[in-house]
């Protein structure tokens, strides 16, 4: 993740990063706090070392391939709440991605 952030900063012609905006799916079972800790550790000594991390948490959501129902889910594997099918795909909740960054002006 730090690599992606530094690469994006480079694309902006910046060596330092001020803020990092992240989408974090709740099914990843990573708290924003531990993500931040991990980030701090990984970014040490880089231009992102002092960046602020802003986490947007994304709820788990699933769609049933059998009956087409969509519903919230905080579990996986998932069983459809409507027809008990196991042919359920997760459509959100597994994100761990850098959305954008701010660099100093
Ligand atoms: Zn179903």
State the residue range of the domain holding 60: 2-102
Across the chain, which distance is largest between two alpha carbons, in Å?
A: 54
Helix, strand, coil abundance in the chain, percent, nearest 5: 25, 30, 45
Q: Do 85 and 67 contact (CB within 8 A), yes or no? A: yes
Q: Which residues surround ligand 1, an ion (CB under 5 A)?
A: 64, 66-67, 69, 80, 82-83, 85
Residues 63-83 have pLDDT tens digits of 999 999 999 988 777 899 899
The CATH number given to whatever domain includes residue 26 is 3.30.2320.80
CA–centroid distance, 58 to ligand 1, in Å, is 22
Q: pLDDT value at position 102?
A: 96
Q: How many folded domains does the chain comprise?
A: 1
pLDDT confidence of 2, banded at 50, 70, 90? Answer: very high
Residues 19-71 have pLDDT tens digits of 999 999 999 989 999 999 999 999 999 999 999 999 999 999 999 999 999 99
Q: Do 58 and 93 contact (CB within 8 A), yes or no? A: yes
């Amino acid at each position: 993740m730090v690599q992606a952030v530094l690469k994006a900063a480079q694309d902006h012609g910046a060596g330092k990063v001020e803020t990092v905006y992240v989408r974090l799916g709740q099914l990843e079972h990573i708290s924003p706090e531990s993500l931040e800790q991990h980030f701090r550790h990984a970014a040490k000594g880089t231009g992102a070392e002092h960046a602020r991390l802003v986490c947007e948490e994304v709820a788990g959501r699933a769609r049933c391939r059998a009956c087409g129902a969509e519903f919230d889910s905080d579990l996986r594997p998932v069983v459809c709440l409507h027809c008990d099918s196991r042919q359920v795909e997760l459509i959100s909740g597994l994100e761990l991605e850098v959305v954008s960054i701010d660099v100093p002006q």
